[in-house]
Chains A and B, each alone.
Chain A
Amino acid sequence: MISHPVLPAKVYVLIWLALITLLLLTLGSAYLRLGWVNGAINLAIAVVKAVLVMIFFMHLRSGHYLLRIVAAAGFFWLALLIGLAFTDIGVR
């Protein structure tokens, strides 16, 4: 597992282009009047961007599987915090 394969520089640039495109997408879609769907789109795009950064820039894909579990655990635990707290605030 020790070394990740060296990706061609082109791959990183392509991912960067995807990230910038997603940025423009999230910014542009914010100007459409879609109610709560705006927020959903923005969050979804943010998740996609974060996942792209993690897989390609942070080499999660080629790393040891334990690292993916650790990364997922962090976000999952945050979801637990927000989700369970919302059983209170969402219903009060």
Chain B
Amino acid sequence: MTEAVITARQFDDAQQQRSASDLGIWVFLASEVLFFGALFAAYAFTRFRYPDAFAAASRLTDVALGSVNTGVLLTSSLTMALGVRAAKLGARRALIGWLAATAALGLVFLAIKGGEYYLDYTQHLVPGLNFQYAGPDSRQVELFFYLYFFTTGVHALHLIVGIGIVCTVAAMAWRGVFSPDYFTPVEVGGLYWHLVDIVWIFLYPLLYLVSRA
């Protein structure tokens, strides 16, 4: 292991620094699981009480756009993972390319999400703004959509932060900060990105696939 890495003064060596960063980001990810987890708990509570209303409400979401978006995010995880791999190999150009692809896919997700939000708005499905639903259990359908906008909104906020992180890391890569011995920001950014993907992996069936049969 070369000493090309700058080790912060509180650490004994680069290995300890790297090990601390790894543990640090994973502890943060665990806290994020609980952060989103509160929303999943709220969803579980409410769906348990109103299964029929949730089924009806879920059918009003756009499953095509939601599924495409899921594919987009899964693909962005692939590009992010390939980016981390490129960093490990010292392939600077490839790294920047994969990071750009990841950010681009994130933006595509947000665009599609925005489109969905607009469609929901035209269909009067936005609680607190213009919610109107003529079917049975309309109040509980409104609860579903409150959770839908809340969870996807918080997720989107995290995604925006993620895109910011990916762009920042890409800028660092452009300046030649990384080497096979030091690419911690790439790794840390990647782990955050994958977490945002995992949150969506769970949100997708809970919001879009409650009852499609």
Using a CB–CB cutoff of 8 Å, the interface residues on chain A facing chain B are: 1-4, 6-7, 9, 12-13, 15-16, 19-20, 23, 26-27, 30-34, 38-39, 42-43, 45-46, 49-50, 53-54, 56-58, 63-64, 66-67, 70-71, 73-75, 77-78, 81-82, 85-86, 89-90
Contact = CB atoms under 8 A, between A and B. Distances in A.
Contacts, number: 135
Q: How large is the interface on B (under 10, 10 to 19, 20 to 34, 35 or more residues)?
A: 35 or more
**Majority SS at the chain A contact face:** helix
Given A19-B74, A53-B194, A85 B41 contact: yes
Interface string B180-208: 00000000001100100110011011100
A1 to B, nearest CB: 7
Contact of A53 (B30, B49, B201, B205): B201
B99 to A, nearest CB: 15
Contact of A33 (B75, B201, B213): B213
Interface of B: 1, 14-15, 18-19, 22-23, 26-27, 29-34, 37-38, 40-41, 44-45, 48-49, 63, 67, 70-71, 74-75, 77-78, 80-82, 85, 88-89, 190-191, 194, 197-198, 201-202, 204-206, 209-213
